[in-house]
Amino acid sequence: MKLRQKRLQAVRRLIETNPAGSQDAIIEMLKREGFSLTQATLSRDLKSLGVCKRPNFEDGYKYYFPDEAERNEVRRDHIQDFLRGYISIEWSGNMVVIKTYSGHSSSVALAVDDLALEDVLGTVAGYDDTVFVCLREGKSGEDFMAVMKKNIPNLEA
């Protein structure tokens, strides 16, 4: 099994059994299990696992795994953010460029990330009004649009 997958399994187990309130605490628990990683790597891991953070009235905030209903609600919110924020979608090869209204690039990129599309290697939100989406080798903008329309039926290109 690859190191990343082992680490993701460890993160999942640790959060389920030892609720932590900070990424530093999770990194320390992972170090005790032999994993060495940066905060940026942990942040990406938490995002890919769908981990959320909520208030715990006893001792601050805690990371947790949301249930299916909560994940669906968050996904609906992100899709609405995408639809409110994007202007156009164009592509060349395996690079997609999404133009957004001013100030909406982060929420549009987050919506794409939340869909967890297999063909997407990653997104980069520009400072203000542009999102770059890098697709896996061999995937095209047409492939991206087909999957996006499946996930966001009222999406117009």
- In order, the DSSP letters of 42-95 are HHHHHHHHT-EEEEETTTEEEEE---HHHHHHHHHHHHHHHHHHEEEEEEETTE
Range of the domain at 125: 69-151
Query: Total domain count for the chain?
Result: 2
What's the pLDDT score for residue 96? Answer: 97
Task: Please give the pLDDT value at position 72.
Answer: 83
Q: Which residues contact 148 (CB under 8 A, 6 or more apart)?
A: 89, 115, 117, 155
For residues 40 and 130, which has the higher predicted lDDT (pLDDT)?
130
Residues 120 and 136 in one domain: yes
Query: Residue 138 belongs to a domain with what CATH number?
Result: 3.30.1360.40
pTM greater than the 0.85 cutoff: no
The pLDDT tens digits for 83-123 are: 999 999 999 999 999 999 999 999 999 899 888 888 999 99
The CATH code of the domain that includes 17 is: 1.10.10.10
pLDDT at 9 (0 to 100) = 94
Residue-level length of the chain: 157
Q: In this structure, are 77 and 127 located in the same domain?
A: yes
The answer to whether residue 59 scores a pLDDT higher than 80 is: no
Calculate what percentage of the chain has a pLDDT beyond 90: 56
Q: Is residue 75 part of a domain?
A: yes
157 pLDDT above the threshold of 70: no
Give tens-digit pLDDT for 15-34: 999 878 889 999 999 999 99
Report how far residue 29's alpha carbon sits from residue 14's, in angstroms, rounded to the nearest whole number: 8
Question: Do residue 53 and residue 86 come from a single domain?
Answer: no
What are 117's two structure tokens?
């599309």
Is 137 within the bounds of a domain?
yes
Q: Which amino acid is at 90?
A: E
CB 130 within 8 A of CB 105: yes
Same-domain check for residues 73 and 53: no
Q: Which of 64, 86, 109 is the last residue of a domain?
A: 64
Tell me, yes or no, whether 55 and 7 share the same domain.
yes
Q: Are residues 74 and 146 in the same domain?
A: yes
CA 20, 24, 28: angle at the middle one, nearest 5? 85
